[in-house]
Structure 1
Amino acid sequence: MSWCILKNNTDSDKGGNSVRISYQYRLKPTKAQSAFIDNTLDMLRCQYNYQLGQRFRWYEQNRCPIDRCSLYVCYLPELSEKPNRFSQQASLTQLKKDRPWYKEIHSQVLQEVPKRVEIAFDKWLAGDSNGKKSGRPRFKAIGQYKTFTYPQFKQHHFSGNKITLSKIGEVKVIVHRQIPEGFEIKTVSITKKSNGYYVTLSLDDKTAPTIKPDFNPDNIVGIDVGLIDFYVASDNTKIVAPKFLRKAERKLKSLQRKVSRKKKGSNRRKKDITKLGKQHKKVADTRKDFHFKTANNLLKTYDVVAVEKLNIKGMTKTWLSKSVNDAGWGQFITILTNKAENAGLKVIAVNPNGTSQECSNCGHKVKKPLSQRMHNCPVCRISLCRDLNASINIKNRGAHGLKAQEMSSLKSP
């Protein structure tokens, strides 16, 4: 079972640190409860598709602000008010009158659907920080809506190995770790995965310390992530890239072939799809467990970890995309950062430009192709591994950036 830190919010006025983490547990519902959860997910899926369709209809009819024929539409539609989260939530009252079976779903769970629709739709319209739009939100097919959330939860409804969920009842939970003292349950999410049902508890603790009492800014390490070695540290330690996907490719290929040979809609195809999903989940879980353990080992030794601020999204569009995705650098850095903040430690991201070309001993630029794995400086005559040279540069840049942050914090009132 996996758990992950979600976010870490610092309250500077109180000098405290609000820590948000999530714990995920396996659920053991009865057959009736499983059927109810599946039915709830399908009804929420239908409502999601309907409300997303409302947004698309509004967009097509109102995309041109001019009151005459345009290149987009060949008729003059009646301009309507843009659907938003609150107007769509208000329509749920009429929905329950027209379709009484929606009364079986908890009201707050149903109100989360317009919120998800708004996030997906607005993200598509606004685009990223550079204004580049992402893909158009898709309507969800049967089985593609997998999670619903209770935005409010009473603490006493989770006791021992049982959790009480509104409209579902008391469900057995496999509690593999206890909730830490001081943490309060904020939200509860139910997720259907290939191997069963899971509950995710979002926990909040407002009493966590801002920084570790014996924090030492000089106890710093730089790490250079790669595809041959998962990372090479500035202390000359390294971890070989595990390549979980590459090792499971043969089995995944065999399972995928079995799925493609079965008739669409048949029970045998559904069974093979479940097996394929379980294998993909096993690869993802193994990778995530490796990331957590690696991050934990780094933070046990060092108070500050310097990493490169990589454009991972851009790297996944190259011929190395499968290897980059298999390494999961983005997930690892996120886990490392969140675990460091939770422990009162620090992860600092530095500019990656020239870390491999610059000599860590004298600063001379030594240009070399990616295939050249050794750094040989013609000025100071130093010879060392290319990745080790980069990790030392990352450490030096991290130390410089940390001092700059400390100076700016001292100057600020």
Structure 2
Amino acid sequence: MRSAYQYRLRLTKSQVTKIEKWLDMLRHQYNYLLADRFNWYEQNRCSVNSCLLVCHLPELRNNPDYFSQKRTLPQLKKDRPWYKEIHAHVLQDCVKRVDLAIAQFLKGDNNGKKSGRPRFKSKNRYKSFTFPSLSKTPINGNILTLPKFGQVKMIYHRPIPDGFKIKTATITRKADGYYVTLSIQDDSVPDVIPVDKVTNPIGIDMGVKSFLVKSDRTEVPIPQYYRKAQKQLKKIQKAVSRSKKGSNNRKKAVIKLGKAHKKVADTRKDFHFKAAKELLDNHDLVAHEKLNIKGLAKTKMAKSVLDAGWGQFLSILSVKAVRVAWPTALNAGLITKAVNPRNTSQNCSNCGKKVPKKLKDRIHCCPHCGYVTDRDVNAAINILNLAVGHPVSNKAYRVTELLGGFGKKPALSR
């Protein structure tokens, strides 16, 4: 199992200068290698199947790839001796980033989804570099030892769990300072609880009125951190817009704006971690919808959807479920299961019949069985039914009965 721990660094002025120097050199090398890839493509592509009798023939060479560009690094250090200051593995990671960007542009990711054309990095867009390998014990107290960089002081607020090995370290420049992200790994795999042995399942329905509604009829209110900070952000953004480009006042305003946005993001992330912990402490199976968040972000609800941060929360929930009790509780991993959201808010969780509703209808009232409950609670129960392997139309198993029969069931008149 692999995880990541992030710590804030307390650097001296000389260390800050050294990091900025490394970032600048790595950025130039990244742009050079990316331009080399583009140049080969432009010189060797042809839109027709024949050429003129008299034409320019480019220098014949193979398509540059990760290995061929990595073999150019020794010559780079001879031509530009100042690159010897950077650790060889850090330079190789820079080549790997170029190769990954090109691969995602041409081939796509594991799902075949391609990204846009890679862009050349400006100073504000190249913010991190990675040490792919460290010593066996790189941490001594609150001191982290980085190869060919030296010792750096960090706020060691959370110790590395026993049994984990530190694999990589990534130094990142953010709006409010410098951070190090340690990638840690443990080869043992936690045993996941089988679905048929789950004793306390829960279904959740994500929303914009409430952050989430549980199948037991409780809910978590939505904090709306961005909307609450909009007034302050607007004021700082106005100062940025009114400043002259390239001036020191504009740089100060941009830094202030970045810190304000980071504060909103940090408070939202902290809320997501606490909400995920509360769910996993009380339930061994959490069922949720498989949401198309990118599609929802293009609708009129875009601001509310992005302010809620559903994608980040569900990612934290799934990762935390595997290691919520790690490594103390016998390596027990909990379950999070995503189900198809189709008709989860339309179907009745009591009888399984479809009850069409508009978005403004917040109460579910089934004309077939008379079951009345909140729309989101009905959806959460349907999500839980799907997660445990029972269709919403199966009358032999109803979560409403297990949860104590929430809702009103008046007798039907003949």
TM-score normalised by the chain length of structure 1: 0.88
Instruction: Indicate the SS of the match to 1:384.
Output: strand
Structure 1 pair 293–317 and aligned structure 2 pair: CA distance change class (3 A): same
2:92 maps to amino acid: Q
Q: Contact 1:68–1:76 (CA<8 Å) still a contact in 2?
A: no
Query: Is 1:400 equivalent to 2:389 in the alignment?
Result: yes
CA distance in 2, matches of 1:26, 1:379: 58
**1:95 is matched with which residue?**
76
Report the CA distance between 1:155 and its aligned residue: 2.9
Structure 1 pair 78–168 and aligned structure 2 pair: CA distance change class (3 A): closer
Structure 1 pair 78–97 and aligned structure 2 pair: CA distance change class (3 A): closer
Instruction: Indicate the SS of the match to 1:170.
Output: strand
Alignment of 1:81-230 (within 5 A): 81-127=62-108, 133-211=114-192, 216-230=197-211
Counterpart selection for 1:279 from 257, 260, 281: 260
**1:47 is matched with which residue?**
29
Structure 2: give runs of 5+ residues left out of the alignment.
Answer: 325-332, 392-414
CA distance in 2, matches of 1:177, 1:218: 32
Structure 1 pair 400–214 and aligned structure 2 pair: CA distance change class (3 A): closer
**2:341 is matched with which residue?**
352
Counterpart selection for 1:386 from 358, 369, 375: 375
Instruction: Indicate the SS of the match to 2:388.
Output: helix
**1:160-212 CA distances to partner (integer Å, 9 max, x unpaired)?**
01111223211111111111111111111111111111111111112353236
Structure 1 pair 382–137 and aligned structure 2 pair: CA distance change class (3 A): same
Q: Contact 2:205–2:213 (CA<8 Å) still a contact in 1?
A: yes
Report the CA distance between 1:76 and its aligned residue: 6.1
CA distance in 2, matches of 1:127, 1:106: 30
Report the CA distance between 1:63 and its aligned residue: 3.7
Q: Contact 2:134–2:147 (CA<8 Å) still a contact in 1?
A: no
Q: Contact 1:62–1:80 (CA<8 Å) still a contact in 2?
A: no
**1:6 is matched with which residue?**
none
2:211 maps to amino acid: F
**1:102-130 CA distances to partner (integer Å, 9 max, x unpaired)?**
11111100110111111111111124677
Q: Contact 2:203–2:215 (CA<8 Å) still a contact in 1?
A: yes
2:235 maps to amino acid: S
Report the CA distance between 1:330 and its aligned residue: 0.8
Structure 1: give runs of 5+ residues left out of the alignment.
Answer: 1-18, 403-413
CA distance in 2, matches of 1:156, 1:20: 18
Counterpart selection for 1:267 from 224, 245, 248: 248
CA distance in 1, matches of 2:383, 2:175: 40
**1:408 is matched with which residue?**
none
1:205 maps to amino acid: D
1:387 maps to amino acid: D
Q: CA RMSD in A?
A: 2.2
CA distance in 2, matches of 1:143, 1:119: 20
**1:244 is matched with which residue?**
225
**2:301 is matched with which residue?**
320
Structure 1 pair 401–161 and aligned structure 2 pair: CA distance change class (3 A): farther
Higher relative contact order (CA 8 A, sep 6+): 1
TM-score normalised by the chain length of structure 2: 0.87
2:228 maps to amino acid: K
Instruction: Indicate the SS of the match to 1:155.
Output: coil
**1:340-390 CA distances to partner (integer Å, 9 max, x unpaired)?**
112410111111100010000001101111111111111011111111100
**2:8 is matched with which residue?**
26
Report the CA distance between 1:216 and its aligned residue: 4.0
CA distance in 2, matches of 1:252, 1:79: 54
Counterpart selection for 1:231 from 199, 212, 215: 212
Report the CA distance between 1:213 and its aligned residue: 10
CA distance in 1, matches of 2:356, 2:59: 62
Report the CA distance between 1:66 and its aligned residue: 5.5
Report the CA distance between 1:75 and its aligned residue: 6.7
Report the CA distance between 1:250 and its aligned residue: 1.0
Q: Contact 1:357–1:368 (CA<8 Å) still a contact in 2?
A: yes
Report the CA distance between 1:244 and its aligned residue: 1.0
CA distance in 1, matches of 2:280, 2:45: 51
Structure 1 pair 324–260 and aligned structure 2 pair: CA distance change class (3 A): same
**1:5 is matched with which residue?**
none
Instruction: Indicate the SS of the match to 1:172.
Output: strand
Structure 1 pair 82–260 and aligned structure 2 pair: CA distance change class (3 A): same
1:61 maps to amino acid: Q
CA distance in 2, matches of 1:215, 1:303: 12
CA distance in 2, matches of 1:160, 1:258: 42
CA distance in 2, matches of 1:275, 1:215: 52
**2:353 is matched with which residue?**
364
**1:68 is matched with which residue?**
50
1:302 maps to amino acid: H
CA distance in 2, matches of 1:382, 1:64: 67
Task: Answer with 1 or 2: which has the greater Rg.
Answer: 2
Report the CA distance between 1:60 and its aligned residue: 2.3
**2:405 is matched with which residue?**
none
